[in-house]
A and B are shown apart, each in its own frame.
Chain A
């Protein structure tokens, strides 16, 4: 089994929704059970402090159900409540049912597959978002050490785009963090967890961290609004703390959602702040509401990013939206807009949905599908 140990721990941690930092792994452990018999376990995840052990079995060549039953009885005898089976193939319906009965989790240890959902098979871009249409367009251009902006009106899917970005990173073993500047964290967690693409599991496994600024930062901002001389102190404080967290927690994908509350509408200020948020080794994504121009709030943010992705509402009836790339420095990108909808699976292509005038008799005001 050629998996890097940390990557392995991470995958198990995600399946069991535990913090990978708190566990260490041992291979080929033999322990004595309650019955007095000694059992060999392929892998044992042992908590560093408190918590329960996790027993893991490698799936061999023998009959699936007998292997599972033997493994189950071993763990019962050893009194290990958490059980997992390492698989390198898709399980069928019967196998999944069996695991469910014995309360055994399947841990897929295959290297993260490229997109298997589409028929064409090959993927050109580097999977950054894990949404094929987006990655095909800009995946190649997104580079570590740069800052990118996702701009659009409320409800158009900025945060959802960022969630895809974080979850796809976490799948590849890249830790992510999202800094919430204007949403209540509890509300954010419950909304984000309702998506099916795995945010909750990665959050629980601490592969995605959620952060917020304390009220002190707001006080500081009021101060600088009354005394512009303090501006750089504010920028220095914010960017230092962010970098400290990013470095201290090995974060490689950072989201600030939205960036606007951390900014003051002044060229120098935005320039310095955005430049400092481009951290070496990290992809930073910031979201922005739109007001001054159709891609930003103050009308200057776009100059200081390496790329800008614009999200717009396209058709109210079907809740379709359009994503287009306004700017992307370095590398080629495909500028064709991408029509999408937001469902439980997050961002999904909307090409197949006809964009047509609404049928008669429908109400004049049609609410957009509520995203977050």
Chain B
């Protein structure tokens, strides 16, 4: 009964929320083009309105996914027993210039998960000489070691070269920075066995080094919305895409799309789009079965985000061609794909929000509204949106801190999204860097954030002195944004060692 009431309240909230997103967008158009506004005012109001549409779409997709996740998601576990698993799975472990110590450790976890079930293949594209050590280890463990020197097709190429020659029915892909739990395959393979239309099962990448500093927690906050809410919802309608690691594919599904897509930096999403376009289903299995590590240095984090952003952005044309313009997908699915497809443009829209209060200082009035419009449309829209975001997160057992970190995570690195967009548009090739590299970044690299922060502080003082009720509200939002961008000072630090990497077993001599 209690659950039903909760569900009912949520449904009401969804409808009201989506309604107000519409009202907010319409109201902001009306408010923007008020009489007496200058061309500059209108220009920035248009930008502001565009940003609202962007976040409006994101919110609708978010709410749809949350609703699906809440009402339809549960994946039963009872069938995951009594299935013959032997000799069915190839576990492919691609690597590139990795830390040998990490390889030694995580390969053991991968072996533990593959005990009597999977055959492990190490695919090493290293160019730094670390390959020799890895080869020795593989020889000792009797694991096939495949070393390529041409790096053709990068990760996707490495996977494809091996895929075409192996007999196994399923293919798990594990990045070497991941530690699977011993039951990873035992729990996921039966799901593929049960449903032959399933192309892949993805499990979350759970960050297990949250004790290494604030940055890891921020990165985790950012992951939370994805792995706890969006992905569950996507899975319900078969829209889940592979995240490149911690995933098991059906080899037949890979074959049907010509194996992994070698033409994109995010071969995982690209390949998923290809498979989904062909009618394959996908599943997200939300259990903490694989333990990864969040980036612990600002440089690593920026590299990771840049790579994800530019890879996803480069996929936009394909998502539109294969899914949005296709007749085989529902409107809800299309909204979802549009939302996740364009998500990495967020930096531009955050920038618009961030500079809007600052523009007031130089006399540009973005989105002036009268009191009535504000109270009827704008305020409820904003509050509902923010409220829904927080409530849904808390409902999924996130702490308030996680919610804050999530909101801050994207604001703090908004320039990365902008740089990635420019990189894709100008077809710039940036050398591939993993999240595991790098250290502290020099502070001058944060000039966009620091400039915005100073601008916001000045704007707050300026607006508070004006004595106008609307300016007070703008000052409030400016202060709110300031709290989301300030964490940059805590993020660019040297990490502490995490217990997950500590040596806890010691030899007594």
A179 contacts B by Cβ under 8 Å: yes
List residues of chain B with CB within 8 A of the CB of A247: 108, 140-141
A245 contacts B112, C-beta separation under 8 Å: no
B225-251 vs A, CB cutoff 8 Å, 1 = contact: the mask equals: 000000000000000000000000000
A256-281 vs B, CB cutoff 8 Å, 1 = contact: the mask equals: 00000000000000001101101110
Q: A236-B291, A243-B111 are in contact. Are A248 and B104 (CB under 8 A)?
A: yes
A240 contacts B499, C-beta separation under 8 Å: no
A216 contacts B by Cβ under 8 Å: yes
A239 contacts B by Cβ under 8 Å: yes
A232 and B104 CA atoms in complex are apart in Å by 20
**Which of B115, B500, B504, B505 contacts A233, CB < 8 Å?**
B500
Give B113 Cβ to nearest chain A Cβ, in Å.
8
B504 contacts A243, C-beta separation under 8 Å: no
Give B187 Cβ to nearest chain A Cβ, in Å.
10
List residues of chain A with CB within 8 A of the CB of B181: 232-233, 235-236, 272
Task: Identify the closest chain B residue to A210 (Cβ).
Answer: B508
A278 and B182 CA atoms in complex are apart in Å by 11
B106-144 vs A, CB cutoff 8 Å, 1 = contact: the mask equals: 101101100100000000000000000000000011000
Q: A240-B112, A247-B108, A275-B115 are in contact. Are A214 and B506 (CB under 8 A)?
A: yes
B445-480 vs A, CB cutoff 8 Å, 1 = contact: the mask equals: 000000000000000000000000000000000000
A275 contacts B104, C-beta separation under 8 Å: no
A240 contacts B108, C-beta separation under 8 Å: yes
B105 contacts A by Cβ under 8 Å: yes
List residues of chain B with CB within 8 A of the CB of A230: 288
Task: Identify the closest chain B residue to A239 (Cβ).
Answer: B112
List residues of chain A with CB within 8 A of the CB of B51: none
B507 contacts A by Cβ under 8 Å: yes
B221 contacts A by Cβ under 8 Å: no
A197-231 vs B, CB cutoff 8 Å, 1 = contact: the mask equals: 00000000000011111101101100000000110
**Which of A219, A235, A236, A245 contacts B499, CB < 8 Å?**
A219
List residues of chain A with CB within 8 A of the CB of B183: 232, 272, 275
A211 contacts B507, C-beta separation under 8 Å: yes
List residues of chain B with CB within 8 A of the CB of A275: 115, 182-183
Size bin of chain A's contact surface: 35 or more
Q: Is the interface of A mostly helix, strand, loop or mixed?
A: helix
Task: Identify the closest chain B residue to A280 (Cβ).
Answer: B115
B503 contacts A by Cβ under 8 Å: yes
A48 contacts B by Cβ under 8 Å: no
Give A207 Cβ to nearest chain B Cβ, in Å.
13
List residues of chain B with CB within 8 A of the CB of A96: none
B179 contacts A by Cβ under 8 Å: yes
Q: A247-B108, A272-B183 are in contact. Are A213 and B504 (CB under 8 A)?
A: yes
B179 contacts A240, C-beta separation under 8 Å: yes
B270 contacts A by Cβ under 8 Å: no
List residues of chain A with CB within 8 A of the CB of B508: 180, 185, 189, 210-212
A237 contacts B by Cβ under 8 Å: yes
B504 contacts A241, C-beta separation under 8 Å: yes
B109 contacts A236, C-beta separation under 8 Å: yes
**Which of B112, B500, B506, B507 contacts A243, CB < 8 Å?**
B112
B300 contacts A by Cβ under 8 Å: no
A236 contacts B505, C-beta separation under 8 Å: no
B504 contacts A216, C-beta separation under 8 Å: yes
A237 and B179 CA atoms in complex are apart in Å by 8
A26 contacts B by Cβ under 8 Å: no
B108 contacts A210, C-beta separation under 8 Å: no
Q: A236-B179, A243-B111 are in contact. Are A214 and B502 (CB under 8 A)?
A: yes
B167-187 vs A, CB cutoff 8 Å, 1 = contact: the mask equals: 000000000000111110000
B499 contacts A220, C-beta separation under 8 Å: yes
List residues of chain B with CB within 8 A of the CB of A240: 105-106, 108-109, 112, 179
B25 contacts A by Cβ under 8 Å: no
Task: Identify the closest chain A residue to B104 (Cβ).
Answer: A244
Residues 490-509 of B contacting A (Cβ, < 8 Å): 499-500, 502-508
B410 contacts A by Cβ under 8 Å: no
B208 contacts A by Cβ under 8 Å: yes
30 intermolecular pairs with C-beta atoms under 8 Å apart: A185-B508, A211-B505, A211-B508, A212-B505, A213-B504, A213-B506, A214-B502, A214-B504, A214-B506, A216-B499, A217-B504, A232-B183, A233-B206, A233-B291, A236-B112, A236-B180, A236-B181, A237-B504, A239-B109, A239-B182, A240-B112, A243-B109, A247-B108, A248-B104, A272-B181, A272-B182, A272-B183, A273-B182, A276-B112, A276-B182
Residues of B within 8 A of A (CB): 104-106, 108-109, 111-112, 115, 140-141, 179-183, 206, 208, 288-289, 291, 499-500, 502-508
Closest 6 CB pairs of A and B: A276-B182, A185-B508, A232-B181, A243-B108, A240-B109, A210-B508
Known A-B contacts: A212-B508, A243-B112. Give 4 more (CB < 8 A): A212-B506, A214-B506, A236-B112, A247-B108
Residues of A within 8 A of B (CB): 179-180, 185, 189, 209-214, 216-217, 219-220, 229-230, 232-233, 235-245, 247-248, 272-273, 275-276, 278-280
